[in-house]
Structure 1
């Protein structure tokens, strides 16, 4: 356990006060639902890119991925490579089209609202179904962040895990509740820079003799650590293992908290700059995360303390061992930054689903903008309490919780969103079928194991969802004249804005 150090505690407190100050400042600039849920659509390229990246990576970037690299060696590059490719493709093929179409579709603020208006769904089935899946999978995703926060406070301050999780939850909810999207985006900008800096500083400081010496030392421990084709036991990786790792990249196309950044950017031209920033940031951050795991493996092998009980704590152990308490406090705050930057985004998207997609559409259609914001804030508290309940087990794995939620969003929304942006013939029935098949496949596949069922559930989820969308759309009525006219308008507007 890391000693309870006053300097580290003080550093954490300064960091939390800074984030809360940003939240209060953003609160003063939040006047309506559009401000609270999308920041008034005025994000520049830097906050858009780093907010998307920081909200995407979460605590798993400093805990889950280094822990996986610590246990598996360069096998982790399959996962990192899949995520980097997914980041680039998401910005390339989704960002501009989603921003443009969400404006065309009556300025849709949420993903469920966009899908409902895209297919002129008067029954509200599309919007309600999308909101349901958002709330269900975000409970697991948000709880993963709270688990990461619990491990951080438990390790740094020698707290009881339950108390640590509660404190982490209060930290996240406090400024999300006040500032909404602007608070989330601006704090993400700061936190994204801090995360990437920490992930590069720690392995560089820990390496003696550079990458070549690191490779030689790891080879001496176990040559298989340096192979991307074999596991640490020397057995070749199966095609199921490789495809499962790379397939993480498929999840990007359906993540509501990342897609919200595309809609919130102030112009389509800014999205091109943002894409370059986001891809570079992701590449640097994941390189650092893998190096942390590899360096940590070398350190623990030479350490008299023996191995780690929890691989996901390797970043914290290295920081506390190598750096002065002041620097250690700043670097450990990067974990809190990663946790907060994702959990706040998830809470905000979930609350928007409650306020915009359930309350306004199904309960009170004539609700005022201020009333919707209030319901959204109450939703933040309600959802955080449910996620807190799921996070109470100290044996929970950050990577495990993230993988399930990530697959759920990727399969339920990814194929539906991409085809809705590119395929004019897609209709309402196809969208409903795609979400249902994608979401249900994830839930059922997760319960099975052995043989083909060891394949990461996002792969069959995306495949089956895509097939169902195409088949149902073709075997049911063509889209209405209203839907077709809106798609044509969107295509014209896309060319104009480009």
Structure 2
């Protein structure tokens, strides 16, 4: 192992030890610890934990690479993911927190007083979270594969072991505080390289103010090479795909079960709103930095790598070629590297940037540790969601309602280990790049849950039959379109990553039509739906709003 790999490995092992130590210190002792951290997390720290949960391998590793390769068209990821948090913070999170349940399936089952709806929601949650976690394990494989100069698939199983250990030990309580630590590490690791790159290239340490100049220069270079201009809109995708992807990511964000459950860990509706506000701030730090990463990395490659003799390329290229994520060919047979001869996998851009810019061993190692923090933080939240859907919503609420806390915790931990191993096996040969796989999870979440959750809060006439029809129809249409698109069949130029637009439409139509064709729900359920819209000190009953302070209405 070379010196660089040793430094990176030491930093990663130190962070692994920190995460496992935090999980042991905050070990879940009762089910409320395991599922919702006993609802005792302050909004500031919960917002940071949400940021850690959210900054997945797709955000840390994949997003900057996607923007670098697609230019303007890659911005749909940034705008969609950020816009979704506004929907969630204002339209769903406070209301779902007021309802006081542990999981999204539990909310759906109790809101409509329907065990079939609960079961369908639990199965859909497992499918969505399982899809998402495949992307996280693929990300850990990219990091560890480069670290040990192995194929990326060989690094996946190491991530499987670490994730299974700390998620099963700490539950939501341990995962929450682990995610706080992971956010601090990943945001530091993400920002330091572009600060140094900005200093190197411009003399200004604020990349957010300088990278715009390089976008213009990249446009000129693209014109010289006969490429589509880096900042030209809709050159790499159709307008319909851009809008469909943006919509899919937005509604998917607002409906992701593992994100929603983070708002259950605070004390009040007000705390849920403040958690969302803090989360947006912490998330913005990374999302505003991704375009800078993309611009700087593309500029350095275009000016310092492309056009060089192939036998005199920088040393960092050899290490990445060994991972299979960078390919170089001499198609013109002139011994010179052209842009067309260079295949750069989107998932290596952030990881390779410190090496491209010669930032030193410590920075390279720090980025590796940050990338692992991003993959692990989201994976932890996803595993808790899978665990709670199985152990709480299916095992406890449907199969064994008299099960003890000890048995419920054991069932949850078994579900974590089993799902991690299964996802790891699939991640050995992932079906797509990280951002693509995770876009599928967002499409499935939006298509299955968004109309049901939104109307479940804001339309009291919605029925259990409508919810069931919507979830089944939305899930089926979304999955069907993803498979059709992968086979080459598309509508309006919309690719598999924009499938959510069809799933949401089908779900919404089915919910409304079936609800109107079936008898109205009992008055009690309608009153509970209206009650969700009021602050916690107010209660809706008997057609009137009551103040919960001991006084009259």
Per the TM superposition, whether the score is higher than 0.5 is yes
Is structure 2 residue 359 aligned with structure 1 residue 359?
no
Long gaps (5+) in structure 1: none
Once the two structures are TM-superposed, the CA of residue 361 in structure 1 deviates from its matched residue by 2.7
Q: Equivalent of 1:476, from 515, 518, 536? A: 518
Quote the residue 1:77 is aligned against: 75
Once the two structures are TM-superposed, the CA of residue 327 in structure 1 deviates from its matched residue by 2.8
Quote the residue 1:371 is aligned against: 407
Quote the residue 1:331 is aligned against: 367
3-state SS in 2 of match to 1:454: coil
Is structure 2 residue 228 aligned with structure 1 residue 188?
no
Structure-1 separation of matches of 2:466 and 2:430: 41
Q: Which moved more, 1:76-85 or 1:7-16?
A: 76-85
Q: Equivalent of 1:496, from 538, 544, 549? A: 538
Quote the residue 1:279 is aligned against: 280
Structure number with higher relative contact order (C-alpha < 8 Å, ≥ 6 residues apart): 1
Quote the residue 1:450 is aligned against: 490
Quote the residue 1:313 is aligned against: 348
3-state SS in 1 of match to 2:261: helix
Paired residues for 1:238-249 under 5 Å: 238-247=238-247, 248-249=249-250
Once the two structures are TM-superposed, the CA of residue 226 in structure 1 deviates from its matched residue by 4.3
Structure-1 separation of matches of 2:17 and 2:267: 29
Quote the residue 1:179 is aligned against: 170
Once the two structures are TM-superposed, the CA of residue 489 in structure 1 deviates from its matched residue by 4.4
Q: Equivalent of 1:55, from 53, 56, 67? A: 53
Q: Give the greater-gyration-radius structure (CA).
A: 2
Q: Equivalent of 1:414, from 450, 456, 475? A: 450
3-state SS in 1 of match to 2:538: helix
Once the two structures are TM-superposed, the CA of residue 21 in structure 1 deviates from its matched residue by 0.6
Structure-2 separation of matches of 1:273 and 1:116: 27
Structure-1 separation of matches of 2:382 and 2:19: 17
Once the two structures are TM-superposed, the CA of residue 35 in structure 1 deviates from its matched residue by 1.0
Deviations 1:458-490 (A, max 9, x none): 001111111111111111000013312433544
* Contact preservation (8 Å) 1:76, 1:290: no
Paired residues for 1:432-447 under 5 Å: 432-447=468-483
Once the two structures are TM-superposed, the CA of residue 308 in structure 1 deviates from its matched residue by 4.6
Is structure 2 residue 107 aligned with structure 1 residue 114?
yes
Q: Assess, with a 3 A threshold, how the Cα gap between structure 1 residues 411 and 290 changes in structure 2: closer, same or farther.
A: same
Structure whose residues are more often helix by fraction: 1
Q: Which moved more, 1:46-55 or 1:298-307?
A: 298-307
Q: Equivalent of 1:342, from 359, 365, 378? A: 378
* Contact preservation (8 Å) 1:152, 1:336: yes
Structure-1 separation of matches of 2:154 and 2:74: 32
Structure-2 separation of matches of 1:260 and 1:114: 11
* Contact preservation (8 Å) 2:386, 2:416: yes
* Contact preservation (8 Å) 1:146, 1:168: yes
Q: Which moved more, 1:471-480 or 1:154-163?
A: 154-163
Q: Which moved more, 1:368-377 or 1:358-367?
A: 358-367
Quote the residue 1:18 is aligned against: 18
Q: What is the number of equivalent residue pairs in this alignment?
A: 485
Please give the root-mean-square deviation of Cα atoms over the aligned residues, in Å: 2.2
* Contact preservation (8 Å) 2:219, 2:231: no
* Contact preservation (8 Å) 1:74, 1:225: no
Q: Which moved more, 1:15-24 or 1:474-483?
A: 474-483
Structure-2 separation of matches of 1:405 and 1:328: 30
Once the two structures are TM-superposed, the CA of residue 241 in structure 1 deviates from its matched residue by 2.2
Q: Which moved more, 1:308-317 or 1:338-347?
A: 308-317
Q: Assess, with a 3 A threshold, how the Cα gap between structure 1 residues 186 and 109 changes in structure 2: closer, same or farther.
A: same
Quote the residue 2:192 is aligned against: 201
Structure-2 separation of matches of 1:318 and 1:33: 43
Quote the residue 2:426 is aligned against: 390
Quote the residue 2:508 is aligned against: 466
* Contact preservation (8 Å) 1:161, 1:394: no
Structure-2 separation of matches of 1:285 and 1:411: 27
Paired residues for 1:268-307 under 5 Å: 268-301=269-302, 302-303=304-305, 304=313, 305=317, 307=342
